[in-house]
Amino acid sequence: MHRNLALLICLAIPAFAQSPADLMKDPTVRAALDAARRNEPATLDLQARICEIPAPPFHEDQRGLELKRLFEELHLQDVRIDKAGNVIGVRPGKSARPNLVFSAHLDTVFPEGTDVRVTRNGDVMKGPGIGDDCRGLALMLAVIRALDEGHVQTPGTITFVADVGEEGLGDLRGMKQLFFETLKGQIDKFISVDGTGLGITHIGVGSNRYKVTFKGPGGHSYGAFGMANPIQAMGRAIAKIDAFQVPKQPKTTFNVGRVGGGTSVNAIPFEAWMEVDMRSADPNALKEIDTKFHAAIKEAVDEENARWNGRGAVSASAELVGVRPAGQTAKDNPIVQTATAVSRAMQIDEILREGSTDSNVPMNLGIPAITISGGGMGAGAHSLGETFDAKDSWRGTQRALLLAVSLAR
């Protein structure tokens, strides 16, 4: 009697109220989870194959075309490539919303001409980009395939995206295109799969990067003595930057990473330059340090010119060479709660962390977003000797699958 009553109550609970642990018992979800595990060897083969298609920064097109073909082969709908080069495919749910975007990045940090062949030794695969982010791409395809094989029908829609421009000077251009143009106003939740392990990134560290150039007429060190000096002006600026006080929480940082300029020991230089990187997970803290930075440059130039009474006046210009917006998805946000519930249901230790990933863009817009890692164990990301240890990597695939099903409602 009681049992029947409990069953009735269970059936009456709408689909969106199901916990990840409940969903694991759903026969279609169970079938998909089984398929994900069974297919893992094929997923690893695919991971190696995708990785052998070069995808240098700003040249992801060849790998993108292969992803487009695979999206079509796996029966996604409305498969297309947007203006930036993002490859998009839709797995419709019972309704169009909520729309969950599930993404992994196409690009690598390796320049054109890099030997991208993958070698394997037991569980360990080796090749540039094998974990970051060939793992994410292969895992995304594995999730699509498993959903298909399990005949899982989600209440909401999942839009899969293989995106461009995640790394370095790519400056998240794929995500900016996706959120500001291609799918503007149509994304309710966002997950990206990036790298290896089983972590969950819910804090998006933003950064502003500048190249600052100081210029003056320059002249002979002895003959023209008495002129303002661009390198000395830059020295003043660096001393001011070095004295910045920054909050520990949220962690906010600055770094003068490279300097250059001048022509000779006996010449007043006509030019000097420096590259500066500032980071924070808090958009306001980042804005604040950015303002201080611009003030420091201006003060340094003014002081240098005043010191030499305006002889051979120095000027400076700061060129923004990189912006990654900051943001975070709070720990008590349902998307983070769901992700930790999924991990718990699968006996995976909860690891919450911060990072700089594709999720920065939605986090900055206040759209619930997290980045999860793709299972297995990686080493040497961004190096030619990058490795991926595939031991138990199916757990990463299953975790991502259950998370996608839990969020697409």
Toward Zn ion, which CB reaches closer, 284 or 383?
383
Closest contact distance (angstroms) between CB of 195 and Zn ion is: 5
Toward Zn ion, which CB reaches closer, 190 or 254?
190
Helix (H) / strand (E) containing 193: strand 189-193
Number of chain positions touching Zn ion (CB under 5 A): 3
Closest contact distance (angstroms) between CB of 241 and Zn ion is: 29
DSSP for residue 317: E
Centroid of chain to Cα 14: 34
Instruction: Spell out, one character per residue from 112 to 141, where the chain touches Zn ion: x when CB under 5 A holds, - when not.
Output: --------------------xx--------
Closest contact distance (angstroms) between CB of 263 and Zn ion is: 40
Closest contact distance (angstroms) between CB of 342 and Zn ion is: 21
Which of the residues 21 through 80 are near Zn ion (CB under 5 A)? none
CA separation for the pair 285, 262 (Å, rounded): 34
What residue spans of 52-95 are helical by DSSP H? 61-73
Which of the residues 173 through 202 are near Zn ion (CB under 5 A)? 194
Q: How buried is residue 11: exposed, middle or buried, by Cβ count under 10 Å (0-12/13-18/19+)?
A: exposed
Instruction: Spell out, one character per residue from 238 to 267, where the chain touches Zn ion: x when CB under 5 A holds, - when not.
Output: ------------------------------
Toward Zn ion, which CB reaches closer, 138 or 289?
138
Toward Zn ion, which CB reaches closer, 76 or 104?
104
Give the CA angle between residues 242, 243, 245 to the nearest 5°.
115
CA separation for the pair 150, 31 (Å, rounded): 5
Closest contact distance (angstroms) between CB of 281 and Zn ion is: 18
Toward Zn ion, which CB reaches closer, 63 or 236?
63
Strands 219-220 and 327-328: unpaired
Q: How buried is residue 122: exposed, middle or buried, by Cβ count under 10 Å (0-12/13-18/19+)?
A: exposed
Cβ pair 240, 233 in contact under 8 A: no
Toward Zn ion, which CB reaches closer, 259 or 379?
379
Closest contact distance (angstroms) between CB of 145 and Zn ion is: 22
Please report, as ranges, the residues that interact with Zn ion according to CB under 5 A.
Answer: 132-133, 194
